[in-house]
Amino acid sequence: MSVLDSFIAGLPKAELHVHHVGSASPRIVAELAARHPDSPVPTDPEALADFFTFRDFAHFIEVYLSVVDLIRDAEDVRLLTYEVARDMARQNIRYAELTVTPYSSTKRGIPDAAFVEAIEDARKAAESELGVTLRWCFDIPGEAGLEAAEETARIACDLKPEGLVSFGLGGPEIGVPRPQFKPYFDRALAAGLHSVPHAGETTGPQTIWDALTHLRAERIGHGTSATRDPKLLAHLAEHRIPLEVCPTSNLATRAVTDLDRHPIKEMVAAGVLVTINSDDPPMFGTDLNTEYAVAARLLELDAHGVAALAKNAVEASFMDAVGKAALTAEIDAYTAAWRG
């Protein structure tokens, strides 16, 4: 481990773009598979490691769906959520806004109230036992269309769990225009939630404009194609609209063809508030610490530069002012004490 890697490993961090099911590590999947012996997912650690080795995007979808198939009751949801927080604690992630897709579970027959109770129960336990603060972004799986949008907005606005802070939109962008989701985002915003759709990951800058205009996005998930439109970059910088950048995910999904050509440098140079995230970490063979190391290499950062990126995530988060000040102070104290 390099000196900078050690710095990153111990650095207190916040993560803003990471998916619930997509965070299921082989260890967690083995636990879930053991609860459901009829599942085709292997429980043997070696076979599971092989199953998890990222091959291509189609294989990622296969792994993702087989994990979705293991989330069958509220106890599975609770176990997954708490164990994801345990993996976060090991990386010194103090705060995470976890993107949760309630529709995937309610459609499979888990009652909405039981689902919400399970994640809230795990959230409270994670905070007191692991020191990880979790908040939720309920997202619409875009490929499932307006029925999923309606169900997600209904659960978000009617049940509105204490940990819920934002409303999102994920899934494929091609063939799933953003403007059609406007009424659902309007409802979520009226209920006091923040708007954080994915946009511009696999499509051009117009999708990001659509997310800003129609969905009133306050942060952009990915926003990879923003650098193709100088006016858009200037707009994001001027209005302090952060980008949730996930470098390894972008390479895995071919949103970028080569990590060295990732547009993160142009984003930073344009003055955009850039945050570093892991998206679906075990499925893309990464974790948040690895993503910080990638960003440090691409942006040629030392420990102080990495700490500044970590503080960007705190600033871009939906923590209250007291929480932001506390985590920023923790990052500063860690950096000041660092003898790398």
Q: How far is the CB of 311 from Zn ion (least distance, A)?
A: 22
Query: 91, 13 in Cβ contact below 8 A?
Result: yes
- What residues line the site for Zn ion (CB under 5 A)? 279
CB of 184 to Zn ion, least distance (A): 18
Secondary structure (3-state) at 245? strand
Q: Return the structure tokens found at 34.
A: 């053991």
Q: Would you state the structure tokens that stand for residue 73, as one six-digit string?
A: 């009751």
**215 DSSP 8-state letter:** S
In the bound state with Zn ion, the residue whose beta carbon lies nearer, of 218 and 279, is 279
Catalytic residue among 15, 201, 218, 244: 201
Cβ–Cβ under 8 Å, residues 24 and 87: no
Please say whether the dihedral angle defined by the alpha carbons of residues 298, 304, 308 and 309, taken in this order, is positive or negative: positive
Q: Which residues contact 190 (CB under 8 A, 6 or more apart)?
A: none
Write down the least CB distance from residue 19 to Zn ion, Å. Answer: 6
CB of 210 to Zn ion, least distance (A): 17
| Residue 197 near residue 178, CB atoms below 8 Å | yes
Scanning 13-111, the segments in alpha helix (DSSP H) are 26-35, 45-52, 57-68, 74-90, 102-106
**75 belongs to the catalytic site:** no
Catalytic sites, residue numbers? 201
